[in-house]
Structure 1
């Protein structure tokens, strides 16, 4: 995982999906997101801060 969108590599190494505890992958596009490899939820990154709230996530499947 590379550090992008202002998210520290140390943080990316330890956080997991709050819904299923799956691994998160940082994607950068129009808006940076952390996408769960397990359940497919995408969590927004706002001002370099991951918003790991299931209610804020969108489904990618």
Structure 2
């Protein structure tokens, strides 16, 4: 798990756009919404769940 990111927090975090559960991507330190195809960065253990910080997934 990301440094400073509480595993219980991950259970309740949701995509701010569609409210879907987010998946943790440890390799890239981000949270992914598969439905919106967005990745929200995690900086210093804090998820940045802001639309302007999200990156569109190319998968």
TM range (shorter): 0.7 to 0.9
- Structure 2: which 5+ runs fail to align? none
RMSD: 1.0
Q: Which residue of 1 aligns with 2:49?
A: 52
> What is the rounded CA distance, in whole Å, between the counterparts of 1:17 and 1:57 in structure 2?
10
Aligned 8 A contact 1:20 1:39 in 2: yes
Q: Verify: 1:26 aligned to 2:24, yes or no.
A: yes
Structure 1 runs of 4+ off > 2 angstroms?
Answer: none
TM value normalised by structure 1: 0.85
Please show how residues 12-23 of structure 1 align to structure 2 within 5 Å: 12-23=10-21
